[in-house]
Amino acid sequence: MSNGPRPSQLCLLSALPTKQVGDKVRFLGCVSSYTPASGVLALEHRLPEESCSVLALVDVNLVLESLSADQTRVGEWINVIGYITDVAPSADGKKPHSQAPRVHAQAVLLWSAGPVDVRRYEASVRGLNAIMCSDSCHRAS
């Protein structure tokens, strides 16, 4: 058993609501807003097949010293490694698509994605997750 930090789970931002509080995740998101007073960065990544996107509210207070203006600019794609701190379903249970589900995370590492082919990234993450699921299913049997 390792005493080091546990590895992060690579996932699409849209999969964050399926995670548990305390899970360590790595995801890509597009900056939709930044609130300097609270140190919260709002990230989205709407997939074409989704009618409503997930909103990731990322607390960046632990990484402020290394945070650049580029990483808080609306429209910038960034990578985040952090811990899920809260998962809130859509605001109105009667209308599931009235407001996007919100996931709160604490960033421990954040960096610009640079020029990224978002569709290729989505396909790669889905493929990797399918392989990992297949491997774990084979080990369980």
Residue-range domains of the chain with CATH? 9-91+98-139 (2.40.50.140)
Residue 140 is predicted with a pLDDT of 46
Residue 62, exposed/middle/buried by CB under 10 A (0-12, 13-18, 19+)? middle
Taking the CA atoms of residue 27, residue 28, residue 31 and residue 33 in that order, the dihedral angle to the nearest 10 degrees is -10
Question: Which pLDDT tens digit goes with each residue over 50-75?
Answer: 656 889 999 999 999 999 999 999 99
Whether the predicted pLDDT of 113 surpasses 70: yes
| Residue appearing with tokens 């859509």 | 90
